[in-house]
Chains A and B, each alone.
Chain A
Amino acid sequence: MSSSLPPRPFPAGPIASVTGTAVVVRGDDIDTDRIIPARFLKCVTFEGLAEGAFADDRTELAGAHAFDQAEHQGATLLLVNRNFGCGSSREHAPQALMRWGIRAVVGESFAEIFYGNCLALGLPCLTAGHDAMRALQEAALAAPTAPLCLTLAEATLEGYGQRWPLVLPAGPLQMLTTGQWDATGQLLSHHAELSRTLAALPYANGFH
């Protein structure tokens, strides 16, 4: 279990690459209720969410879930399929994955709110086409402990004897590699612009 491993520090500042091994969770439309069931949301901090990651799926599979297998303990890369993270906006989902140890997700596509939550935490989400993703998952399943290196600037994953081209749009790429993925500071720096915008909103000014 991941709980026996020391917690991995959360990212801070620029993120150039993610290294480590991969864990595969297959299936389209995996929603955030499955990533972290609602009962784990009964908390006022995000600490301790690692045990909730895929909790019901893990119970259903009685030890056979990838997150419970010995060779995947300590994995940093999560390989998924289409529309991963759909449903509830709960940030507890990427928080649970990160507290389990995940530091990057590669999949065919992501739900928007989940993607934004990941970006705000410095958890890169990259995409690959359907066939490439299947091949990558097959390679990962065949060599579960093979070391990988994901380089954000080039959007490539090196491992399993080849270089896998991925997609990371320019905006998130810039935010992650320059350390500006945490937007709070930027938003606060536009004090005057915020005041100007508010002053021009009819509903905030008696509809004048």
Chain B
Amino acid sequence: MCLGCGDTVSAGTLYDKVWDLHRVAELPGGSTQLFIGLHLIHEVTSPQAFAALRDLGLGVRHPERTVATVDHIVPTTSQARPFADPLAEEMLATLERNCAEHGITLHGLGSGRQGIVHVIAPELGLTQPGMTVACGDSHTSTHGAFGAIAFGIGTSQVRDVLASQSLAMNKLKVRRILVEGRLQPGVFAKDLVLHIIRSLGVKGGVGYAYEFAGSCIEALSMEERMTLCNMAIEGGARCGYVNPDATTFAYIQGRPFAPEGTAWDRAVAWWSSLASGADAVFDDEVVFEAGTIAPTVTWGITPGQGIGVDESVPSLADTPVDERPLAEEAYRYMDLQPGMPIAGVPVDVCFIGSCINGRLSDLQAAAAVARGRQVAPGLKAFVVPGSEQVAAAAEAEGLDAVFTAAGFEWREPGCSMCLAMNPDRLEGRQISASSSNRNFKGRQGSASGRTLLMSPAMVAAAAVTGRVSDVRDLLALVPLQVPVG
């Protein structure tokens, strides 16, 4: 929109430009003091930070630049207070007390704006291009979808942002990940990012920010871009971003915290100028062809252990030598044998939701598969909208009815079984098909529970067939031809 109407893009990468704008001072030891434009907090990683402030006799420097919600510990069946779990109740009560004491806005349960922190900040228009965004949660990389530099921090750093609205940071290198072409029908942003991490590894991005660019990325919706950037951290990159464009601006316009009137025009001009310029120099570049990517599923215990749904669990011979010990551990833990096709593996639980795939378009894609079908007998399947706004929008178009008619449970918003800090969890050796972002050992609440990561549509396909299935078959799509060998 504005790139074509006279606005200019300045030199350098978006990362460089945003970094320079937020540089406060150089610190002893060589790190940079970086101003944080938007600080997001939740009930799990903030209580000790507020306690530390209290111990140090410090206040919150910019309470208007911190926004709170509650997501990790909330139950998804009944959200009546007090919660049945006294520890969960204590955590929320502590957050409420801290926010009230320091004048911080809390989007609480029933406010109409509560939800997973990485879902609500974008949908409220809080997340904008050119910002630095920090949150005590590693999936803060999600906000990079808007052309923000967004990264997860620990609790001591939450304390530092509360006290000073800044952080001691070291500048990252930038790797441009060019994705050209179009994703095939039935293949989603989740498959793309699982494919990228499969290819570059879970530590390939350490020391880098990932800039996602190319014709495939430009064609993605904002919700798809959020899915992509969400898992940058699973590839080792602390932040990932997409250059802001007309798609970005159209998403933001009209949201509660979006600029209005003449400020909107000035905002769009400034946002447009931030995109990486044609002269930008990248520390590394990798190219992917979108059209060759199949629906992708993890078989192991790291997000990098993924394969196409039409592939088999890799053998040791096909695994690089230094990754073999982890592969052997994964075979044992997952009880999957090398050479076994991943399609057809039976599942016990199906979970649709989380900060990567709990948005309206994710629920629409899953509902398209579930519509008119039935969850397989004996299987537990549930849908957890990412926010109260997502839930309301989905209910307005009848998606809740589609899911419940198919035998899914329709729940209240929260992080839920992504990390099982609430009552939603796997039991014993159960294996889940999950639209979340982590398949670590024990991640979903059972020390021996197992997780297969996939797109929401693939989770719905698993739910109605009872096993890992190629969603393209259910959507009556012709599977793409994968070269043999």
- Please report A residues at the B interface, Cβ cutoff 8 Å: 27-29, 31, 33-34, 37-39, 41-46, 55-57, 59-60, 82-83, 86-92, 94, 109, 111-113, 116-117, 120-121, 130, 170-172, 174-175, 178, 180, 182-184, 186-188, 190, 193-194, 197-198, 200-204, 206-208
**Also in contact, A183 and B440, with CB within 8 A (given A29-B302, A174-B29):** no
CB distance B421 to A113 under 8 Å?
Answer: no
B56 at the interface (CB under 8 A from A): yes
| Cβ < 8 Å to A, chain B residues 274-321 | 302, 304
Q: Is the CB of B23 within 8 A of A28?
A: no
Given A113-B238, A201-B35, decide whether A88 and B138 contact each other with a Cβ distance below 8 A.
Answer: yes
Is B28 a contact of A180 with CB atoms below 8 Å?
A: yes
Are B153 and A193 closer than 8 Å at their CB atoms?
no
- Which of these, B29, B44, B325, contacts A171 with CB under 8 Å? B29
Tell me whether B91 is interfacial, beta carbon within 8 Å. yes
**Interface membership of B354, Cβ < 8 A:** no
The 18 listed contacts between A and B (C-beta, < 8 Å) are A38-B419, A38-B421, A39-B420, A42-B73, A44-B48, A44-B51, A56-B447, A86-B236, A91-B48, A109-B203, A113-B151, A113-B153, A183-B167, A184-B58, A184-B159, A193-B25, A194-B164, A202-B270
Q: B157 on the interface (CB 8 Å rule)? A: yes
The stretch among B259-267, B335-343, B356-364, B463-471 that forms the contact with chain A is B259-267
Q: What are the 4 A-B residue pairs with the smallest beta carbon separation, nearest first?
A: A91-B154, A117-B154, A120-B156, A207-B266
Q: How far is B442's CA from A132's CA once the two chains are assembled, in angstroms?
A: 31
Q: Does B485 contact A (CB under 8 A)?
A: no
* Contact between A120 and B267, CB atoms less than 8 A apart: no
Contact B156 A91 (CB under 8 A): yes
Chain A residues, Cβ within 8 Å of B47: 43-45
Q: Please report the C-alpha to C-alpha distance between residue A208 and residue B259 in the assembled complex, in whole angstroms.
A: 12
Contact indicator B153/A89 (Cβ below 8 Å): yes
Cβ-closest chain B residue relative to A91: B154
A-B contact count (CB 8 A): 217
Q: A193-B24, A194-B24 are in contact. Are A113 and B159 (CB under 8 A)?
A: no
Distance from B172 Cβ to chain A, minimum over Cβ atoms (Å): 8
CA gap between A92 and B46 in the complex, in Å: 12
Whether A187 touches B441, Cβ cut-off 8 Å, given contacts A38-B420, A41-B44, is no
Contact, CB under 8 Å: B448 / A60: yes
Q: Is the CB of B440 within 8 A of A201?
A: no
Residue contact A27 to B326, C-beta cutoff 8 Å: yes
Known: A29-B202, A89-B153, A113-B154. A46 touches B48 (CB 8 A): yes
The answer to whether B421 and A203 touch across the interface, beta carbons within 8 angstroms, is: no
In the bound complex, CA of A41 to CA of B422 (Å): 11
Asked whether, in the complex, the Cβ of A183 is within 8 Å of the Cβ of B35, the reply is no
Please report the C-alpha to C-alpha distance between residue A26 and residue B308 in the assembled complex, in whole angstroms: 30
Q: Which residues of B in the span 418-456 have a Cβ within 8 Å of any Cβ on A? A: 419-421, 438, 440-443, 445, 447-448
Complex interface: chain B residues within 8 A of A112 (CB): 206-207, 236, 238
B152 with A172: CB separation less than 8 A: no
CB distance from A41 to the nearest CB of B (A): 5
Stretch from B6-14, B129-137, B176-184, B383-391 contacting the other chain: B129-137
Across the interface, do A111 and B206 meet the contact criterion of CB distance under 8 Å?
yes
Q: Which of B45, B138, B164 contacts A184 (CB 8 A)?
A: B164
Contacts of A55 in B (CB 8 A): 447
Q: Are A42 and B91 in contact (CB under 8 A)?
A: yes
Chain A, residue nearest B53 (CB): A184
Known: A120-B157, A186-B33, A187-B33. 9 other contacts (CB 8 A): A28-B326, A92-B155, A94-B154, A116-B153, A117-B154, A171-B29, A174-B30, A178-B28, A190-B25
For the complex, is B128 an interface residue (Cβ under 8 Å from A)? yes
Task: Tell whether, in the assembled complex, residue B203 and residue A83 are in contact, meaning their CB atoms are under 8 Å apart.
Answer: yes
CB-CB under 8 A from B159, the residues of chain A are 184
Q: Is A197 touching B88 in the complex (CB atoms < 8 A)?
A: no
Residue of B22, B91, B131, B203 near A86 (CB, 8 A) is B203
Which of B157, B168, B440 contacts A87 (CB under 8 A)? B440
Cβ distance B273 to chain A, nearest Cβ, rounded Å: 10
* A179-B183 Cα distance, complex, nearest whole Å: 51
Q: What string of 1s and 0s marks CB contacts (under 8 Å) between B368-411 and chain A?
A: 00000000000000000000000000000000000000000000
Contact B259 A89 (CB under 8 A): no
Instruction: Evaluate contact between A116 and B203: CB separation under 8 angstroms.
Output: no
Min Cβ gap B27→A in Å is 6
Cβ contact within 8 Å between B24 and A29 = no
Q: Which of A44, A46, A86, A120 contacts B202 (CB 8 A)?
A: A86
CA distance A43 to B202 in the complex (A): 29
Report the minimal beta-carbon distance from B389 to chain A, rounded to whole angstroms: 23
The residue among B270, B443, B445 with the most chain A CB atoms within 10 A of its own CB is: B443
Known contacts A29-B302, A171-B29, A194-B24, A201 near B236 by CB under 8 Å? no
B349 within 8 A of A: no
Interface centre among A27, A33, A42, A43, by most chain B C-beta atoms within 10 angstroms, is A42
Query: Quick check: A121 and B156 within 8 Å, CB to CB?
Result: yes
A residues in contact with B157, CB < 8 Å = 116-117, 120
Identify which of B94, B233, B267, B442 contacts A37 (C-beta below 8 A).
B442
Q: Which residue of B lies closest to A176 (CB)?
A: B29
Q: What is the bound-complex CA distance between A55 and B24, given in angstroms?
A: 41
Closest to B46 in A: A44
List B contacts of A39 (CB < 8 A). 420-421, 445
B137 touches A89 (CB 8 A): yes
CA gap between A113 and B163 in the complex, in Å: 20
Q: A59 to B417, alpha carbons, bound, how many Å?
A: 22
A198 touches B35 (CB 8 A): yes
For A200, list chain B residues within 8 Å (CB): 21
Chain A residues in 8 Å Cβ range of B234: 87
Given A43-B87, A90-B45, the answer on whether A188 and B138 have CB atoms closer than 8 Å is: no
Q: Mark B182-217, 1 if CB is under 8 A from A, else 0.
A: 000000000000000000001100110000000000
